[in-house]
A = this chain, B = another copy of it.
Amino acid sequence: MIVPEKTLKRDIIYNGRVLKYVVDTVDVNGKEAGREMVFHPGGVGVVAIDDEGFVCMVRQFRKPYEKAILEIPAGKIDPGEEPIVSAKRELTEETGYSANEFRSLGEFYPSVGYTNEIIHIFLATGLTKGESSPDEDEFVDIEKIHIDEIVSMIMSGDIKDGKTIAAIMKTQYIIERNFR
């Protein structure tokens, strides 16, 4: 039985630059429970793949894990921005690449128990290389890796970033069935 949870009280614990931290007291089937949550403005991720199957990947230091992580290019949606616009902007800012065609690969919910973030995933083809322009406090290494190798790194557990796993496995599925 699915029981909707009615909000009895909402405490805004912290209103940050990016995240809002919220604790709700909810009614679940007549009983009270607490729900600790993070509200996020939403993000985008882009699989930018060239005609030979090489994907533009980025490697950057991620503070929560205290290490550099290999990912598809990604970023936050600016206020009022359409996801497709964010995707084009982030791809070019981070990597310098622009693309002729963007196709939606759907939405990705990172961790449904406590964050409301939606990451909109796109497949970008018809790539042209230009100049990157990362944010001032953003340091990113760009690596072009063949999708077959990325899939191997996913299956071996070397790639752990969630949006990257979802986006690449969807892309691989599309390529195998439609284009090869």
Contacts and interface: CB of A to CB of B under 8 A. Distances in A.
Interface of A: 1-5, 13-14, 16-19, 21, 23-24, 26, 28-29, 31, 33-40, 43, 59-65, 68-69, 71, 104, 106-119, 136-137, 139, 141, 151, 154-157, 160-163, 165-166, 169-170, 173-174
Contact of A110 (B2, B139, B162): B162
Given A23-B16, A36-B17, A114-B18, A61 B165 contact: no
Q: Is the interface of A mostly helix, strand, loop or mixed?
A: mixed
B59 A165 contact: no
A69 B39 CA distance: 18
A22 to B, nearest CB: 9
Contacts of A39: 64
Nearest to A67: B4
Contacts of A17: 34, 36
A2 B109 contact: no
A112 to B, nearest CB: 4
Given A16-B23, A160-B106, A28 B137 contact: yes
